[in-house]
Amino acid sequence: MSFGLLARTANAQPATPAATPKVQPFLFLEGDWQGAGWIQLGPNQRSEFNQTETVRRKLGGNLLTIEGLGLDKANAQRTIHNAFATVAFDAASNTFRMRAYRADGAYTDALATPGTDGHSFVWGFDYPGMGKVRFTIGLDAQGQWHEVGEFSRDGTQWMKNFEMTLHRVGAAKP
């Protein structure tokens, strides 16, 4: 047995299926979703898209994965949005962190703050030299995923540049 394997074995935590998942505040999104939305990438650059999202709990509920694909409503061969994200609890800072990746390889690390209602959260990041971006995700009165993206140059005045509404089409598969 190698030293590395021995060290990992000595520090291994027993599986505790009954333990509360660390990403519990985000599990309201677990499952498969479909719907539509729009994004404004600049003046006169609004695109409407059909969206799918797949949300899964991993590592015994200590990690949540979110995979989204948005295809242009006018041309389904054109991808508008293609992203993959993870949400995890950071014990060192006692916060939830989201790492969001785009298809071009770019990514951002962001703070993800659960809402007090049990079915929403906000995440965002600084866009160096430009301003701030934030997304608010939650379930509406019909149980649909409703998400709004906003941009601010100064962190006080926000402009909506993204919105989508999705309905659940399937429960999470183990």
Q: pLDDT at position 19, please?
A: 60
The domains of the chain are located at 24-170
Cβ pair 150, 160 in contact under 8 A: yes
What is the Cα–Cα distance from 151 to 54, expressed in whole angstroms?
25
Under CATH, which number does the domain 24-170 receive? 2.40.128.20
pTM of this prediction exceeds 0.75: yes
Mean pLDDT in consecutive groups of 10 residues from the start of the chain, 174 residues: 43 53 93 97 89 95 95 95 95 95 92 95 92 96 97 95 96 68
Do 67 and 86 touch, CB atoms closer than 8 A? no
Report d(CA 30, CA 171) in Å as an integer. Answer: 7
